[in-house]
Amino acid sequence: MSMHDDGRASPREPAHGKPMAAAPLRDPGRGEAETGRPEPAQAAGMRLESDRQRQAVLDALSAQIAVLDASGRIIAVNEAWRRFARENEGDATLEDGIGIDYFEACLKLSDDDPENLGEQACEGIRAVIAGRRAEFSLEYPCHHPEYPRWFLMTVTPLTEGLGGAVVAHLDISSRVRAEQESRQRREEVAHVARLSSVTVLAASLVHELAQPLAAASLFSESLVTLSGQDPVDRGQLVTAANDLRTQVDRAIGIVDGLRHFMRRGEIRTEVCELERPIRGAVSLVMPLARKKSVRLALDLPPEPVRVRVNPLQIEQVLVNLVCNGVEAIDRNASEDRWISIHLRAAKQQATVTVIDSGAGLSPKWITRIFEVFETEKNTGMGIGLAVSRTIVEAHGGRLWAEADGAPGAVMRFTLPLARDGGAV
């Protein structure tokens, strides 16, 4: 099952590319009253004209519509549904729709759907008919053999007292494609911003790599020396080999972290503990912080905080905020050099706060720092904070700066907690 930027479920493609639970809208002919006695000619004519008008209204709608009775059988469909059935090689029964058990048709689709799309639809429709829900909606793919398509199914109850429901299917392919293109463009811009951050981290990472590589070289020389002794001290050999492996693993970890940060195309979201990207960002920035003599402090809650995010992009936001803090402290030449990262969860949202001991933000810049190409620094592109805000907002959160009169800058961003909860 895939996820949209707003968090709605989007089940897999249903079987045969047929829309879920919809059929053409047409009232069965009614020439007799409920008692079975023939109606007067004038009353029958008025009823026929009323039925024609209702059908004309339904046929004018662009959505594919089916009207269900209280048992879930189709009692009417519209022209959009009939047209869809014809164009998608539906049989005559499907095209007419009248009398079809809608629930049975939905469940047939679930046979080839591991996400149980049909069962989701049936459950939602039954809830509307029973009055447990005022409305139900579900987005789903229904791809054509030559191109992808997506539909939105909405279910609303019939007028009170009649029972049943109206099911409408609207083609939302253009909107979904636009959302996909927007996500792709956002990821491309975010990738450029990550590469920009790497230029800030590069020198310190090279220095950080030099230490384990130099140590590994010394341990390898020790191995050569020890192996030439007679007799060979196997205990010393094992110790030297383990020390060598530790330093090589340390170097590999630094390179892997940087390679992970630089990769592109990661636009999927997942439920994860927010502590993970926070720790990943700290690991990346730590070499730069050590080089600038800046202490990094983490303040995390005892219970994990779960959010649905793209971990790489949230890590990118944190790298940008912490790097900005390190550079601000370095420009300020302050003796009190620290950055603290705080995580809290309450009221269905997580809040991350990054505080530094730099010079702080001037009133002039606090309203401009999130604009593209705006920066107080002599280096950099001025896109990091703009991209960071875009990323956070795409995840349903907010990013802002605060100037509370204390030394240094305060940056905060929020993210919605995952539905399975987090620390509160």
- Domain containing residue 95: CATH number: 3.30.450.20
> Which of 249-253, 278-282, 327-331, 380-384 is the least confident region?
380-384
CB-CB contact of 382 with 373 (8 Å): yes
The answer to whether residue 351 sits within a structural domain is yes
CB-CB contact of 74 with 99 (8 Å): yes
For the chain, give the mean pLDDT. 77
- The Cα–Cα gap between 121 and 130 comes to 14
Q: Does one domain contain both 186 and 167?
A: no
The answer to whether residue 95 scores a pLDDT higher than 80 is: no
In this predicted structure, what is the pLDDT of residue 322? 92
User: What is the residue-wise DSSP string for 342-398?
Assistant: EEEEETTEEEEEEEE-SS---HHHHTTTTSTT--SSSSS-S-HHHHHHHHHHHTT-E
Domain that holds residue 8: 2-171
Long-range contacts from 276-283, C-beta under 8 angstroms, 24+ separation: 276/311, 277/309, 277/311, 277/312, 277/314, 277/315, 277/318, 278/315, 278/318, 278/341, 278/343, 278/352, 280/311, 280/315, 281/315, 281/318, 281/319, 281/322, 282/318, 282/322, 282/341, 283/257
Q: 140, 171, 202: which is the final residue of a domain?
A: 171
Q: Does one domain contain both 158 and 38?
A: yes
Q: 119, 142, 171: which is the final residue of a domain?
A: 171
Q: Which segments of 229-382 are extended strands (E)?
A: 270-273, 295-299, 306-309, 338-346, 349-356
Indicate the pairing of strand 338-346 with strand 136-141. Answer: unpaired
- The Cα–Cα gap between 166 and 184 comes to 36
More confident residue, 322 or 58: 322
In this predicted structure, what is the pLDDT of residue 50? 63
CB-CB contact of 138 with 121 (8 Å): yes
User: pLDDT band for position 156 (50/70/90)?
Assistant: very high
Q: 144, 171, 198: which is the final residue of a domain?
A: 171
Q: Does one domain contain both 204 and 84?
A: no
In this predicted structure, what is the pLDDT of residue 152? 93
User: pLDDT band for position 419 (50/70/90)?
Assistant: confident
User: pLDDT band for position 297 (50/70/90)?
Assistant: very high
Q: Whole-model pTM?
A: 0.50
Q: Does one domain contain both 149 and 183?
A: no
Q: Does one domain contain both 250 and 359?
A: yes
The answer to whether residue 421 sits within a structural domain is no
Q: Does one domain contain both 49 and 145?
A: yes
Our count of domains for the chain comes to 2
Domain containing residue 398: CATH number: 3.30.565.10
Nearest CA-CA partner of 45 in 63, 67, 30, 62: 30
The answer to whether residue 422 sits within a structural domain is no
- The Cα–Cα gap between 289 and 135 comes to 53
The answer to whether residue 371 sits within a structural domain is yes
- The Cα–Cα gap between 283 and 41 comes to 85
In this predicted structure, what is the pLDDT of residue 161? 67
Among 21-35, 56-70, 117-131, 212-226, top mean pLDDT goes to 117-131
How many alpha carbons fall within 13 Å on the CB side of residue 226? 15
The answer to whether residue 356 sits within a structural domain is yes
More confident residue, 216 or 415: 415
Q: Does one domain contain both 355 and 212?
A: yes
In this predicted structure, what is the pLDDT of residue 11? 41
The answer to whether residue 376 sits within a structural domain is yes
Phi-psi domain of 72 (left: phi exceeds 0; alpha: psi -120 through 50; beta: other): left
CA end-to-end span of the chain, whole Å?
A: 28
The answer to whether residue 95 sits within a structural domain is yes
Q: Does one domain contain both 152 and 87?
A: yes
How does pLDDT run across 20-66, given as a tens digit for each residue?
A: 544 334 444 444 444 455 556 655 555 666 667 777 777 788 788 98
Q: Does one domain contain both 221 and 347?
A: yes
Q: Does one domain contain both 189 and 139?
A: no
In this predicted structure, what is the pLDDT of residue 12? 39
The answer to whether residue 424 sits within a structural domain is no
Q: Does one domain contain both 66 and 13?
A: yes
Nearest CA-CA partner of 253 in 292, 283, 233, 226: 283
Q: Does one domain contain both 253 and 401?
A: yes
